[in-house]
Amino acid sequence: MVMEQAVDRRAFVKLVGLSAGGIALSGGAVVAGLVGRRRVGAQEANKVVLAYSDYPDVAIANLADLKDGEPVFFDYPQAGQRNMLVKLGQGRTAEEGVGPGSDVVAYSAFCAHMGAPLDTVYNHEHAVLGPCPLHFSTFDLAKSGILVMGKATQPLPQVVLAVDAAGAITATGMYGLIYGWPANLITLDGGN
Ligand code: FES
């Protein structure tokens, strides 16, 4: 279901892979649209208004099953969109990290530059993903996937996680556009 509303930072997780080019200034407010744009009313001035679709909530693991530095791979939000869940450990605290130590994070396993697979290049000592086998991009997993080096110009898309009282880890959304998709929830054949 496509919706529009004013959002805070947290609600950005519901953004459907809108690229920076999909956001435009209009009357002093930022307006973006998945299926079109609308002008915001005076009462909405200076708020961010986005068109978005809801990501599914998908259970992916339990905290009790994670070991420091041992990645778990899962598809999200669609089949074929591969991601890596990992507990950084070593006393690190990660931005958007979950769990008692705020060190459990998940990211797309497709390089933000040209989509090369990053499945085998997790560096636990430095808590980075990379260097990418194609052009050496390396992403800091404790700092929202920001680029450390290489050719990518975007951070690595990060999966938004939630944890319940029983330790169940759920994927609830995604920051950023997964490489190769025009929008994270739109299938490549044009379906939705
Ligand atoms: S595809 Fe990863 S750096 Fe180019």
Residue 100 lies in a domain: yes
pTM of the model: 0.76
First to last CA, the chain: 9
Residue 190 lies in a domain: no
What is the count of structural domains for the chain? 2
| Structural domain boundaries enclosing 10 | 2-53
Atom of ligand 1 at shortest range from CA of 151? 3
Q: % helix / strand / coil in the chain, to the nearest 5?
A: 5, 35, 55
Atom of ligand 1 at shortest range from CA of 135? 3
113 is catalytic: yes
Atom of ligand 1 at shortest range from CA of 132? 2
Ligand 1, atom 1, residue with closest C-alpha: 114
Ligand 1, atom 4, residue with closest C-alpha: 135
| Average predicted confidence (pLDDT) for the chain | 80
**Helix and strand numbers, DSSP H then E, in the chain:** 0, 14
Which of 113, 138, 181, 183 is labelled catalytic? 113
pLDDT band with cut points at 50, 70 and 90 for residue 45: low
Q: How far is the CA of 139 from the centre of ligand 1 (A)?
A: 11
Residue 118 lies in a domain: yes
d(CA 28, CA 25): 6
Alpha carbon distances (Å) from 169 to 25, 125, 135, 161, 182: 37, 24, 32, 7, 27
DSSP state, 27? T
Residue 188 lies in a domain: no
Q: What is the DSSP string of 29-95?
A: EEEE-SS---PPPGGGTTSEEEEEEPPPPEEEEEGGG--BT--EEEE-SSTT-EEEEEE--TT---T
Residue 182 lies in a domain: no
pLDDT at res. 188: 67
- Tell me the per-residue pLDDT of 72-131, one tens digit each, with 9 for 90 and over: 999 999 999 999 999 999 999 999 999 999 999 999 999 999 999 999 999 999 999 999
Verify that 138 and 108 share a domain, yes or no: yes
Q: How far is the CA of 3 from the centre of ligand 1 (A)?
A: 34
